[in-house]
A = this chain, B = another copy of it.
């Protein structure tokens, strides 16, 4: 009987969780990854699944496949429910998982800011299932509108697509829907496309807060050219499934609201012993330890880090990946009995968003301060292909993107939620 190896438990197999697990896999520790899904999801490309550019399994990778050669890495498929720091166990719907060190990397979910009607009737865009729901629903709206001959108002509602939130997701989603409409136009010979419209709603006075005013303006211009109606200062108050009501009382009839206007940490982190802050994120110290709870760390979208930063760090993959490295180093130090833990410092790698085929904006890269247009789109494509896991999937994704660029093809336009 050898000595028990340190047990590292990672909750969540997103960017942060997988990066962490890959590092611990090389050490003399036992790693358990807990996730309710058996796959790692490449969330930045969810919008491409929701608009029929990519297949679901092109952006989802079996978690176990990453750790095929690592006997010391286990996967435990379960929904985490909390951390009992006294007893050093993670509580899940499939029993308890004991740990010596646990890292919360559980990510975020959609924030409807307490608006129940909106939550009930609109689509979130955080999970693969939600992206497939959007795809099924949008395609179905065209089919239903094509048969709706008696009620022109209902037909118009079906053909009005609304995306809420002017962040990267909202920009990408509204741009991709406007391009999808161009594909549909070729195939719905009888439908009156003057009734089809895409609206992007943003509560603030501009889109993409993380890029420069020049890029923001460019983004809005490109969206408008694509036929997207961009509404700034548009604050949603209610949505009953048929009609949006804005704070100022005006209305917008639609059967489709895609909500990309905010996220919050997954509720599970509130049961982990620490304090939570804005957006339900769990407060961590400079070394990424959950404040006041021993041996519990938190990284990424579920962690609230505000040390030497003006505001909490953005909820993007680079933050999670960089924090994973710091958390790894700090836990290894604790295992070795060292006490000089590193403080985390975020290195901003810039921001990018694609507005459609051959169009993107890129801010603050190491090569160039700003890029727009086709070059920016190439940069966007290159970065995302590099980051996509799974060699062979890269090939099919690259092929589909080239194909889509030249032909606008959307072969994924199948509706799969019909009762069978």
Contact = CB atoms under 8 A, between A and B. Distances in A.
Interface of A: 36-39, 52, 55-58, 60-62, 64-65, 67-68, 71, 74-78, 94-95, 127-130, 132, 139, 143, 146-147, 186-190, 390, 392-393, 395-396, 399-400, 403, 409, 411-416, 418, 420
Contacts of A395: 399
A214 to B, nearest CB: 37
16 contacts: A36-B418, A38-B139, A55-B55, A55-B56, A60-B416, A61-B414, A62-B187, A67-B187, A68-B187, A75-B146, A76-B147, A78-B147, A95-B147, A129-B418, A392-B399, A392-B409
Nearest to A57: B412
Nearest to A64: B187
A132 B62 contact: no
How many copies of this protein are present in the complex?
2
A413 B76 CA distance: 16
A253 to B, nearest CB: 22
Contact of A77 (B38, B75, B147, B413): B147
A57 B414 contact: yes
Contact of A392 (B75, B186, B403): B403
Given A74-B190, A147-B77, A400-B392, A416 B68 contact: no
Contact of A143 (B77, B130, B147): B77
Contact of A416 (B58, B132, B188, B396): B132
Contacts of A38: 139, 143, 413-415
A56 B416 contact: yes
Contacts of A52: 57
8 A-B pairs closest in CB distance: A64-B187, A55-B55, A39-B414, A129-B420, A77-B143, A57-B412, A396-B396, A60-B414
B130 A411 contact: no
Q: Which of A57, A147, A190 has most B Cβ within 10 Å?
A: A57
Given A76-B147, A420-B127, A420-B130, A411 B393 contact: yes
Given A77-B147, A143-B38, A392-B399, A61 B129 contact: no
A86 B22 CA distance: 69
Contacts of A189: 71, 74
A64 B188 contact: yes
A403 to B, nearest CB: 5
Contacts of A403: 392
A415 B56 contact: no
A137 to B, nearest CB: 13
A399 B78 CA distance: 34
B71 A413 contact: no
